[in-house]
Amino acid sequence: MTIHIGAAPGEIAETVLMPGDPYRAKWAAERFLDSPKLVNETRGMLGYTGTWKGQKVTIQGSGMGMPSLSIYANELIHDYGAKTLIRIGSCGGMQPQIGLRDLILAMTASTLSTPSRGMFRELNFAPCADWGLLKAAADAAAARDHKTHIGGIYSSDVFYDERPDLNEQMTRHGILGVEMEAAELYILAARHGVRALAVLTVSDHLQTQEALPASERETSFGDMVEVALEAAFA
């Protein structure tokens, strides 16, 4: 048990999927895991452990933003021995060829700042995914014939962004989508020698202003979860 995770020793798997929304963790666990057990509800941040094709898996909410994810990822790695952490979440599309419900596999994650920024001082560290996970996820998505994009994303530390000039430059430089957690996850994975990947579903688009209705968001995320699970155990 830690400050933020109430699971007992042995209740967290080495493979952890991390949606931001705790209720998305509940939905994914109940839909995709066999015999899911609630192992954490501290501060309402739900976590479940079950099995997928005989493999032990935990699905733990991480909250919104990099500071929140950093807390959960650190405790999962340090106190529970997590070895593979895969973010599953929504993102905003930033390129014209990207549509709603498409998958984005984040090869790199650019950012203005993360909770780890002070550690690097003047260095602009380049956070990236684990290659084995990335390749396995790409193969799994291709096998499912799901429209998928692989490349760089932007991890923002604010939700209500008022930097149209920054969005313009990111689009110009090929950034595929924007979300709020992956860069710090990739940095922590590099620091502690574990594997990390972000598998994202496009729920809205910054250029076209299209967006999935709230009622369709959960039902559109099944491919993302299955790709993440298949990549974890490839």
* Sequence ranges of the binding site for phosphate: 20, 24, 43, 87-90
Q: Is 204 a catalytic residue?
A: yes
Residue-wise DSSP of 149-172: EEEEEEE-S-SS---HHHHHHHHH
User: Catalytic one among 21, 79, 204, 223?
Assistant: 204
Number of CB atoms found within 10 A of residue 183's CB: 32
Binding residues: 4, 20, 24, 43, 87-90, 179-181, 203-204
Give the residue among 21, 168, 184 at the shortest CA–CA distance from 109: 184
The answer to whether 69 touches 22, Cβ cutoff 8 Å, is: no
Rounded to whole angstroms, the Cα distance separating 233 from 178 reads 27
Asked if residues 200 and 180 have their Cβ atoms less than 8 Å apart, the reply is no
Q: Are 183 and 198 in contact (CB under 8 A)?
A: no
Binding residues for a purine D-ribonucleoside: 4, 179-181, 203-204
Catalytic site positions: 204
